[in-house]
């Protein structure tokens, strides 16, 4: 019994320590953004890496999610004669939940894994030590450009994902399920508010920060060679995905107070 | 002469000579009672070491003796659990990463695996410290990179990626990157490990050439005795986390201490010949 409590206590202490380290990295990054030179060239490279090269993944995710969501909603709503409400349901759901969460999960898998693997490899091959030895603070050089690029790219990717999702749902609803396009668009416009868009972008911004700090922290604390890099990459994706899903609940509950859902 | 582990063998005349040398040149690097534990293992157990400005010190010792750990303390990449490390008179132990940046501009380091940035070409690696120091003039950067390539005998290799370089070339690029900002001190971590004797000799010649050309203070961590004898003004033998011997190459060679002799001759304890007395007493 004592052993069980010791193990549980140890796990809790390790979790608190880990969260503390990620928060300290975030604090260090924001301090660096406001007090030190920003390497804009590296920032642009990261925008290309995170934003531009994630286009295909995000478009496919958004498109097929919107399409299948429109179909499922229609199958249920049509039974009670509310088929024309598909546009409103899909639009609000994609903006408030599906768009930000699915985009963030895809970015975690594609970008978070690459970040932790790249920084982790630099760590185990002494390239991070070389940066430090050359009087370059690794947070300034590696984390700041990535954090800034995530702050810009993830909201744009979410906007793209939701737009493609809504467009795909329109295509499926109108051309495949034969919903009247006038009712589809009218209901969508009536029930979708600016606050839904703000909520989507706010969530995207927060998810972007979570992913970048979790991934960079894993990279910077990598140990034990190639095995360590593999472990850090896996943990970055798992922790990043869990952080997105868990924080999404709290963000939804908090943001719903400021930006309540529905027609009011 | 048999010596207890942890004792520094310093003949009186050598100690006096060292003291005279340090009177002329105040120590560029000083370690005072440096202790470091990694996990459960105590790597450094109170290291005291001075490196005078302009001199080349070779730190030798068996694998795992803590040579690289000691070297990393000299540039603040590792922090001691106890003791002080002074660079140019300034204690760097309590400095944070940003405060260390000023100190690190005075000290260059060649890592054991060269630690080149693998996303950059040879020229970009060498130019990196200049760009980070705020140098914007492309012509100045090109000129300095060209000069470094010439010193390192790497002309024509500037557009290659690190993955396409041999071990010796990587070390030379790493060295070029370390010295392009003209530090007053260079630390070498196993500069000849993993290289064939010919390439090793070219690296040793390079180290000597840099000493002559730029008059830098150097600390060379190595277990390659030929390299140590070739480049060093003085040699320190690190054993069980302490400086066991500190003197010139000639003094090291003349030493009759079995531990030093074993290391010099590359002899394991089992290979050590028993003394005639021991043979006589063990015979029936």
Most confident listed range (A7-21, A205-219, B66-80): A205-219
> Which of A13-22, A102-111, A187-196 is least confident?
A187-196
In chain B, what residues touch A126 (CB-CB under 8 Å)?
Answer: 111-113, 115
Which one of A48, A114, A134 would you mutate to disrupt binding with B, by most B Cβ within 10 Å of its Cβ? A134
> What pLDDT was estimated at residue A158?
95
Cα nearest neighbour of A133 on chain B: B104
CATH topology assigned to domain B12-116+182-265: Rossmann fold (3.40.50)
Nearest to B247, CA basis, from B80, B35, B1? B1
Query: Which residues of B fall within a CB distance of 8 Å from A127?
Result: 115-118
* Average confidence (pLDDT) over B213-229: 85
B128 touches chain A (CB under 8 A): yes
- d(C-alpha B63, C-alpha B54), whole Å: 27
Percent of chain B at pLDDT exceeding 70 = 85
| Average pLDDT, integer, range A107-124 | 93
Quick one: pLDDT at residue A33? 93
Is A134 close to B111, i.e. CB distance below 8 A?
no
Angle between the N-to-C axes of helices A194-220 and A113-124, in degrees from 0 to 180, rounded to the nearest 10:
20
| pLDDT number for residue B269 | 65
pLDDT band at residue B278 using 50, 70 and 90 as cut-offs = very low
CB contact under 8 Å between A134 and B128, yes or no, is yes
Cα A38 to Cα A45: distance, rounded to the nearest angstrom? 13
Cβ neighbours of residue B240 under 8 Å, at least 6 residues apart? B5, B6, B45, B65
Residue B11 has pLDDT above 50, yes or no: no
Q: What is the pLDDT of residues A138-163, one digit of tens each?
A: 999 999 999 999 999 999 999 999 99
Whether B266 has a pLDDT exceeding 60, the answer reads yes
- In whole angstroms, give the CA distance from residue A203 to residue A68: 23
DSSP string, A117-133: HHHHHHHHTTHHHHHHH
Write B207-214 long-range contacts (CB < 8 A, 24+): B207/B56, B207/B231, B209/B151, B210/B151, B210/B175, B210/B179, B210/B186, B211/B56, B213/B151, B214/B179, B214/B182
The overall average pLDDT reported for chain B is 80
d(CA A137, CA B235) in angstroms, rounded, equals 33
B227 has pLDDT over 90 = no
Joined together, the tokens standing for residue B142 give: 């090109």
Please report, to the nearest 10 degrees, the dihedral formed by the alpha carbons of residues A242, A30, A221, A50 taken in order.
60
Contact between B205 and B194 (Cβ < 8 Å): no
Whether residue B111 lies within 8 A of chain A, CB to CB, comes out as: yes
Strands B107-110 and B185-189: parallel
**Which of helix, strand or coil describes residue B5?**
coil
B14, pLDDT greater than 50: no
| A182-209 mean pLDDT | 90
Q: Look at the pTM and tell me if it is higher than 0.90.
A: no
Give the integer Cα–Cα distance in Å for B75 and B92: 8
Q: Please state the domain extents for chain B.
A: 12-116+182-265
What average pLDDT score do residues A70-86 get? 87
Q: In a 3-state reduction of DSSP, which class is residue B9?
A: strand
Task: Please report the pLDDT score of residue B12 as a whole number.
Answer: 42
In this predicted structure, what is the pLDDT of residue A187?
A: 86
Q: pLDDT confidence of B258, banded at 50, 70, 90? A: confident
DSSP structural state of residue B224: -
- From the CA of B101, how many Å to the nearest CA of chain A? 4
What three-state secondary structure class fits B10?
coil
Flag whether residue B182 sits within 8 Å of chain A, measured between CB atoms. no
Rounded Cα–Cα distance for residues B14 and B246 (Å): 9
Mind listing the pLDDT tens digit for each residue in B149-201? 888 888 888 888 999 988 888 888 998 898 888 888 899 998 887 777 887 88
Interface test with A, best of B72, B74, B77, B162 (most A CBs within 10 A): B77
CB contacts < 8 A, A to B, total: 54
| Average pLDDT along chain A | 91
Binning pLDDT at 50, 70 and 90, where does residue A246 land? very high
Using an 8 Å Cβ cutoff, are B278 and B252 in contact? no
Q: How far is the C-alpha of B80 from the C-alpha of B45, rounded, in Å? A: 10
Contact B117 A129 (CB under 8 A): no
On chain A, the residues whose CB falls within 8 A of the CB of B135 are: none
Edge-to-edge strand ranges of the sheet holding B82-87: B41-52, B27-38, B82-87, B90-91
Q: What is the pLDDT of residues A219-234, one digit of tens each?
A: 999 988 888 999 999 9
- pLDDT, tens only, B94-131: 888 888 888 888 888 988 888 899 989 999 999 999 99
Q: Kindly write down the DSSP assignment for every residue of B225-268, as one continuous string.
A: HHHHHHH-SEEEEEETTEEEEEE-HHHHHH---HHHHHHHHT--
DSSP string, B13-48: HHHHHHHHHHHHS-EEEEEEEEEEEETTEEEEEEEE
Report residue B271's pLDDT band, with 50, 70 and 90 as the boundaries.
Answer: low
Which residue from B minimizes the CA distance to A35? B98
Q: Do A130 and B101 touch (CB under 8 A)?
A: no
Q: For residue A140, give both structure tokens.
A: 């300034």
Task: Out of A188-192, B142-146, B255-259, pick the least confident.
Answer: B255-259
By the CB < 8 Å criterion, does A133 face chain B? yes
Those residues with Cβ within 8 angstroms of residue A35's Cβ, 6 or more apart along the chain or in another chain: none
Domain ranges of chain A: 39-258
Answer whether residue B82 shows pLDDT above 80.
yes
Contacts of A132 in chain B (CB under 8 A): 76-77, 97, 100, 104
Q: Which two tokens stand for residue B120?
A: 């950059």
Q: Which of A125, A127, A134 sits opposite B132 (nearest CB)?
A: A134
Asked if B101 and A125 come within 8 Å (Cβ–Cβ), the reply is: no
User: At residue A127, does pLDDT exceed 70?
Assistant: yes
pLDDT for residue B20 is more than 50: no
| Residue A201 confidence (pLDDT) above 90 | yes
Structure ipTM:
0.79
Residue B233: which pLDDT band, with cuts at 50, 70 and 90? confident
DSSP string of B94-162, one letter each residue: T--HHHHHHHHTTEEEE-TT----TTS-HHHHHHHHHHHTT---HHHHHHHHHHHHHHTT-TT-TT--G
CA distances from B70 to A125, B3, B75 (A): 19, 23, 9
Among chain B residues, the shortest Cα distance to A129 is held by B77
């Amino acid at each position: 019994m004592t052993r069980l409590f010791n193990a549980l206590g140890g796990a809790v202490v390790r979790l608190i320590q880990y969260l503390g380290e990620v928060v300290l990295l975030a604090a260090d990054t924001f301090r660096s953004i406001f007090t030190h030179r920003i390497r804009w060239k590296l920032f642009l490279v990261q925008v290309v890496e995170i934003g531009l090269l994630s286009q295909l993944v995000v478009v496919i995710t958004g498109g097929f999610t919107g399409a299948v969501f429109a179909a499922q909603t229609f199958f249920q709503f049509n039974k009670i004669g509310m088929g024309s409400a598909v546009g409103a349901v899909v639009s609000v759901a994609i903006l408030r939940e599906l768009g930000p969460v699915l985009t963030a999960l895809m970015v975690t898998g594609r970008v978070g894994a690459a970040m932790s693997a790249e920084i982790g490899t630099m760590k185990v091959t002494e390239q991070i030590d070389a940066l430090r030895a050359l009087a370059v603070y690794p947070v300034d050089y590696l984390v700041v450009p990535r954090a800034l690029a995530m702050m810009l790219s993830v909201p744009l990717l979410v906007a793209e994902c939701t737009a493609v999702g809504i467009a795909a749902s329109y295509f499926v609803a109108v051309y495949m399920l034969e919903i009247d396009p006038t009712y589809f668009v009218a209901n969508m416009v009536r029930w979708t508010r600016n606050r839904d868009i703000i909520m989507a972008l706010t969530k995207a911004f927060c998810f972007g920060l979570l992913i970048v700090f979790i991934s960079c922290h894993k990279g910077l604390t990598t140990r034990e060679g190639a095995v360590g890099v593999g472990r850090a990459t896996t943990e970055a994706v798992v922790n990043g995905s869990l952080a997105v899903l868990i924080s999404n609940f709290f963000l939804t509950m908090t943001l719903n107070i400021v930006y309540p859902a529905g027609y009011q | 002469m048999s010596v207890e582990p942890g004792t520094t063998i310093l003949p009186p005349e050598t100690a006096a000579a060292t003291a005279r040398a340090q009177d002329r040149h105040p120590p560029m690097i000083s370690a005072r009672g440096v202790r470091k534990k990694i996990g459960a293992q105590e790597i450094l157990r109170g290291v005291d070491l001075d490196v005078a400005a302009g001199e080349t010190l070779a730190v030798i010792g068996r694998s795992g003796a803590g040579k690289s750990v000691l070297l990393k303390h000299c540039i603040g990449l590792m922090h001691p659990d106890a003791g002080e490390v002074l660079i140019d008179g300034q204690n760097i132990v309590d400095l944070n990463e940003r405060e260390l940046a000023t100190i690190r501009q005075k000290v260059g380091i060649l890592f054991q695996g060269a630690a080149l940035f693998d996303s950059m070409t040879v020229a970009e690696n060498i130019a990196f410290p200049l760009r980070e120091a705020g140098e914007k003039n492309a012509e100045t950067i090109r000129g300095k990179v060209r000069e470094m390539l010439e010193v390192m005998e790497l002309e024509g290799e500037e557009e290659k990626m690190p993955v396409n370089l041999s071990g010796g070339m990587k070390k030379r690029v790493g060295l070029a990157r370390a010295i392009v900002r003209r530090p007053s001190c260079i630390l070498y971590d196993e500069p000849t490990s993993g290289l064939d004797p010919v390439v090793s000799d070219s690296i040793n010649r390079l180290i000597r050439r840099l000493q002559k050309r730029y008059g830098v203070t150097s600390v060379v961590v190595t277990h390659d005795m030929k390299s140590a004898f070739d480049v060093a003004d003085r040699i320190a033998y690190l054993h069980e986390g302490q400086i066991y011997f500190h003197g010139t190459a000639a003094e090291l060679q003349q030493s009759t201490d079995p531990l030093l002799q074993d290391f010099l001759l590359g002899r394991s304890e089992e290979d050590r010949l028993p003394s005639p007395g021991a043979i006589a007493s063990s015979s029936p």
